[in-house]
Amino acid sequence: MSLTENKSATGFLNSDRRRLLVQEYGIFFAFLILSVILSISNEYFLTAGNISNVLLQTSINGVLAIGMTFVILTRGIDLSVGSVVALAGIVSASLVTTSATAGFHGAPYPAALGIIVGLLVGLACGAVVGFIVSRFAVPAFVATLGMLSAARGLTLIYGGGKPVPALTPAFRWLGTGNIGGVPMPVVLLAIVFIISWWILNRTRFGRYIYAVGGNPHAAKTSGIDVTRIRFLVYCISGILAGLAGMMLSARTGSALPQAGIAYELDAIAAVVIGGTSLSGGVGRVTGTLIGALIIGVMNNGLDLMGIESYYQQVIKGALIVGAVMLDQKRNQGQ
């Protein structure tokens, strides 16, 4: 090989390595750059109190986004998570409230019962959607849009359109307590992240999820039960939406029927910004966590700078579109 050819090959490898570095670690660099810019722009950004506030704000969206990651990895989408947040939150709250008028008959019950019921409500919603999508081949967009409306309606029917206040301290600990000085919502997000990372990276079920998203026909031919995998990922998304709903109610001290509106958009934004492909089969839960942190940091930083929430929505929309455009460009390149 000539010297010119050797230099050309070396340059190609360097370029290829740079591309791989951007794909693998670009989201981390983006998060660091954003944090540095905001810390320079506002002296209060890096204070301990503000960092704790950012983590608390990110925890609920992070839990939802991790559940959304499972669904999007299989080429699906879940638009119902915001409504499931409200439904699970208000049903569980009705079991643990001391209010004589807003509680379920016999309330308050033990906090553990309220938590279990909240998770089961989320599971039921996810199971219904998963059954419709996997068994009847209904597009996920349509099925979850229907659940979005149905769950919101059930929330209003169950609670009579009224909030459920006066939750017991034991249940509120889910949103206001701490372990070793770390807020409980942040602890729950960490637990969900670790379990999800392990499932996707260390289990056969995780490998099957990537296989179904990458090529469902090939996955089915190789013996993978595609129907079962698609059903289970919506169940996971539903359970985590139920958990997020209880975290929200516990943190605010009451369950509101209008809770969770547009939460699905933040969850999808975190997943897409984190590098998970809408085409399925590509993505990591680590990227989703960083994506959720980027949204949380961005919202917090813009608040500190006095920028109105309307502009934040515009910026968030631009981020989503930009991330999808990069994903499409990457797919075309491959």
Please identify which residue in the block is written with the tokens 């289990």.
203
What pLDDT score was predicted for residue 12?
A: 45
What pLDDT score was predicted for residue 14?
A: 64
Per residue in 223-255, pLDDT tens? 999 999 999 999 999 999 999 999 999 999 999
Nearby residues of 218 by Cβ (< 8 Å), 6 or more positions away:
211
Picking from 294, 327, 272, 238, the residue whose alpha carbon sits closest to that of residue 69 is 272
Domain limits, the chain: 27-35+44-328
Distance of CA 316 to the CA centre of its chain: 15
**Residue 208 vs residue 327, higher pLDDT:** 208
3-state helix, strand, coil in the chain (%, to 5): 75, 0, 20
Nearest-angstrom CA–CA distance, 37 and 334? 33
Per residue in 27-80, pLDDT tens? 888 899 989 999 998 888 989 899 999 999 999 999 999 999 999 999 999 999
Mean residue pLDDT across the chain: 91
Does the global pTM surpass 0.85?
A: yes
CATH class of 27-35+44-328: mainly alpha
Per residue in 314-323, pLDDT tens? 887 887 788 7
